[in-house]
Structure 1
Amino acid sequence: MEKKLTYEQAMTRLDEIITTLENNKASLDESIALYQEGVELAAYCDAKLKNVEEKVTKIYNGHGFEDYQEGQDGDNH
């Protein structure tokens, strides 16, 4: 799986996989490969969401938006 996917791209691909599997449009071997890809995509999306949740919690808990920006671009204004 391409790790540089955005969350939205990963979810779109996951939806495609689900549709293919639900509609029985793949052979057994293809279905297994798609299922494995889907599990990896779901884990990737879950990790992305947890990362965002941690950042939002840090901002919300009083560290402030400026602290968050400094961590993102490396500047220490």
Structure 2
Amino acid sequence: MTSKAQDNEVNFEGQSGLKEELNRKIKEQKVVVDELSNLKKNRKVYIQQRNSNIFFLADRSQTLGSCKKELDNMKKELQDM
């Protein structure tokens, strides 16, 4: 096998791994969106501070909107691959 063919094979395997990881994250995000969508109106939602174990009270509708936007961005990124 030539060096160029080996590089192409390694690149394809790396791309495949990235797609699998992105698909896994998309599935997780879909679950988050579904869970937030099915909450009762009076339920409290907390978001975690990045790189910390601290949670803050958040607005349910704003959190749902940002999660949907993040899901859409992930789907677009997957299509661009």
TM-score (norm 2): 0.50
Q: How far apart, in 2, do the equivalents of 1:63 and 1:36 lie?
A: 43
Q: How far apart, in 2, do the equivalents of 1:39 and 1:54 lie?
A: 23
CA RMSD of aligned residues (A): 2.6
- In the TM superposition, 1:20-59 aligns within 5 A as 27-59=4-36
Q: How far apart, in 2, do the equivalents of 1:50 and 1:66 lie?
A: 23
Counterpart of 1:36, as a letter, is E
2:48 matched residue in structure 1: 72
Q: Number of aligned pairs?
A: 50
What fraction of aligned residue pairs are identical, expressed as a percent? 12
Match of 2:38 among 61, 66, 72: 61
Counterpart of 2:25, as a letter, is K
How big is the shift at 1:48?
A: 1.2
Q: How far apart, in 1, do the equivalents of 2:15 and 2:8 lie?
A: 10
- Name the one with the larger helix percent: 1
Where does the alignment leave 5 or more consecutive residues of structure 2 unmatched? 50-54, 59-81
Where does the alignment leave 5 or more consecutive residues of structure 1 unmatched? 1-25
